[in-house]
């Protein structure tokens, strides 16, 4: 663990293993944080809170800038660590490091752009002073699919805002978070400001933090199921919450789209991170006149990808994170096929060590198939044919999720019209990638609450203080 500026063992000496998903072998073991450790971490973060909040914004900005530079210098080493514990192919891991580091750079620039206002009350009787203050001690809970970026997307704005924090990384990928803690310490983050506590008993540890009255915020990225549970836990102490939850992104291709661009975008939206992204295209809706050609071209591109251990230089698609992930993908594909879908490529779990699944394209998928309702989190593209704009919008909105949608069309007016009608926090319009540190990332419906990234991302770590002033 990394608590109060020091590397520490768990209070009961417990440890747990971290596996390499490409081989299933143990690569390291880390301290398994306990409830007592969680309380020590809250003690440290709480002691550090006032001095950190009082640190000049410029000083906080320079520390963040240094963290960006250190990450950039160590990009290759960090990418390899991500690939080893998460499984992703090195090009994806390098992409993640660059994206993750950018949150430190962006928020180093935001740290000094303080907000606030002084206005005259409508009655003229007084002035209204609005000032933004750090929310306080934050609990940050992150998933395994982007072990660096999901952490920096929270740590960056929290540091810029003047908050202190306890990061609970996913148990499959604690090594990257621990490496980040050391890097931040080296960049000049004072002891106690960023604490990292891996814990297999995440329920008990996070619950203990959320019931400590010194904790003022929870920022969670993970599944909707766990998000719902934590919203209930956070209710007891009325803790501020930001929730980045699951997705079920539709990828809509109209007949007037540039098909080359649509296939290219589909490759990014589907295959980045082997499909293990909350933003992954989960359902493809293609207008009837181009459905066959789009399916054929996508299948051709996906079948040419090299599948293998993420750390091998030629690999384009790494293994999935663990055996349960492979079982889930396999059962969704089997369910779709038994309902009448046809796998034009893939559809089988490969007979090899490690947690692999072959890139798969399914056509003739039935509307009720669970593969269209649940997050696949794997390299599988189910394709459904639609007929006209209203049909596309109806199908896209037929989900309890609302994180991102992708729309390909050659008609900009239609693209903007459909973007307005689709219920999601983000739209990729003729683009298969939306993530950008300068933009507000987040979902509507059961995909979450709040935004990360952009100016909006910093507001999630600030509270407005209003002072009514007579003079």
Q: Is 143 in the site for ligand NAD (CB under 6 A)?
A: yes
Least distance (Å) from ligand NAD to the CB of residue 171?
5
- Which of 102, 110, 358, 375 lies at the binding interface for ligand NAD (CB under 6 A)? 375
Residue 403 interacts with ligand NAD (CB under 6 A)?
yes
CB 53 within 8 A of CB 45: no
Residue of minimal Cβ distance to ligand NAD: 222
Indicate the residue among 286 and 403 with the shorter CB distance to ligand NAD. Answer: 403
- Residue of 150, 159, 180, 458 that binds ligand NAD (CB under 6 A): 150
Checking phi first, is residue 346 left (phi over 0); if not, alpha (psi -120 to 50) or beta? left
Residues that bind ligand NAD (rule: CB under 6 A) add up to a total of 28
> Which residues on neighbouring strands pair with residue 218, listed in sequence order?
139, 241
Encode burial over 388-413: b for 16+ CB neighbours within 10 A, e otherwise: ebeebbebbeebebbbbbbbbbeeee
CB 319 within 8 A of CB 21: yes
x/- mask, ligand NAD, residues 407-446, rule CB under 6 A, reads ------------------------------------x---
Contact, 251 vs 269, CB < 8 A?
Answer: yes
For the question of residue 102 being annotated catalytic, the response is no
Nearer to ligand NAD by C-beta: 243 or 384?
243
171 binds ligand NAD (CB under 6 A): yes
Compute the distance between CA of residue 33 and CA of residue 380 in angstroms, rounded to an integer.
36
Answer for which of 21, 247, 318, 382 binds ligand NAD (CB under 6 A) is 247
Which entry of 85, 102, 110, 244 is annotated as an active-site residue? 244
Q: For residues 75 and 93, give the distance between their C-alpha atoms in angstroms, rounded to a whole number.
A: 9
Q: Of 333, 348, 265, 345, which Cα lies nearest the Cα of 305?
A: 345
DSSP assignment string, 338-402: HTT-EEEE--S--SSSSS----EEEES--TT-GGGTS---SSEEEEEEE-SHHHHHHHHT-SS--
Nearest to ligand NAD of 108, 242 (CB atom): 242
Between residues 160 and 403, which has the closer beta carbon with respect to ligand NAD? Answer: 403
- Measured from the CB atom, the residue of 94 and 168 that comes closer to ligand NAD is 168
- Contact status: 145 vs ligand NAD (CB under 6 A): yes
The residues annotated as belonging to the active site are: 244
Binding region for ligand NAD (CB under 6 A): 141-145, 150, 168-171, 202-203, 206, 221-223, 226, 229-230, 244-247, 278, 375, 403, 443, 448
């Amino acid at each position: 663990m990394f608590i109060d500026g020091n590397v520490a063992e768990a209070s009961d000496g417990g440890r747990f293993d971290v596996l390499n998903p490409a081989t299933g072998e143990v690569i390291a073991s880390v301290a398994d944080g306990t409830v007592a450790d969680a309380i020590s971490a809250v003690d440290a973060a709480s002691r550090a809170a006032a001095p950190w909040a009082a640190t000049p914004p410029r000083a906080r900005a320079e520390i963040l800038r240094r963290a960006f530079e250190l990450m950039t210098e160590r990009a290759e080493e960090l990418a390899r660590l991500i690939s080893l514990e998460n499984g992703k192919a090195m090009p994806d891991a390098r992409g993640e490091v660059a994206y993750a580091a950018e949150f430190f750079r962006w928020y180093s620039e935001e740290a000094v752009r303080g907000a606030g206002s002084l206005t005259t009350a409508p009655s003229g009787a007084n002035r209204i002073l609005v000032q933004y203050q750090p929310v306080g001690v934050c609990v940050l809970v992150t998933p395994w699919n982007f072990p660096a970026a999901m952490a920096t997307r929270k740590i960056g704005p929290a540091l810029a805002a003047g908050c202190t924090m306890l990061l609970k990384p996913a148990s499959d990928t604690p090594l990257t978070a621990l490496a980040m803690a050391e890097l931040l310490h080296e960049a000049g983050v004072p002891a106690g400001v960023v604490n990292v506590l891996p814990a297999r008993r995440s329920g008990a540890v996070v619950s203990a933090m959320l019931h400590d009255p010194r904790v003022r915020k929870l920022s969670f990225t993970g599944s909707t199921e766990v998000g719902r549970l934590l919203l209930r836990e956070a209710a007891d102490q009325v803790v501020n919450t930001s929730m980045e939850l699951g997705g079920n992104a539709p990828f809509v291709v109209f007949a007037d789209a540039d098909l080359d661009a649509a296939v290219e975008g589909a490759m990014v939206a589907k295959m980045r991170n082997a499909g293990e992204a909350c933003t992954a295209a989960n359902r493809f809706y293609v207008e009837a006149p181009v459905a066959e050609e789009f399916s054929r071209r996508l299948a051709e591109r996906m079948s040419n990808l090299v599948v293998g251990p993420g750390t091998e230089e030629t690999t384009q698609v790494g293994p999935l994170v663990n055996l349960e992930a492979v079982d889930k993908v396999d059962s969704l594909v089997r369910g779709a096929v038994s309902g009448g879908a046809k796998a034009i490529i893939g559809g089988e779990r490969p007979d090899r060590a490690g947690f692999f699944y072959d890139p798969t394209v399914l056509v003739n998928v039935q509307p009720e198939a669970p593969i269209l309702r649940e997050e696949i989190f794997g390299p599988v593209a189910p394709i459904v044919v639609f007929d006209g704009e209203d049909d596309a919008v109806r199908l896209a909105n037929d989900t309890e999720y609302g994180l991102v949608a992708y729309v390909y069309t050659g008609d900009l007016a239609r693209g903007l019209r459909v973007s307005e009608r689709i219920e999601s926090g983000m739209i990729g319009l003729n683009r298969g990638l939306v993530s950008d540190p300068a933009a507000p990332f987040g979902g509507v419906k059961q995909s979450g609450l709040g935004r990360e990234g952009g100016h909006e991302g910093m507001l999630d770590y600030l509270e407005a203080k209003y002072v009514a002033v007579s003079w």
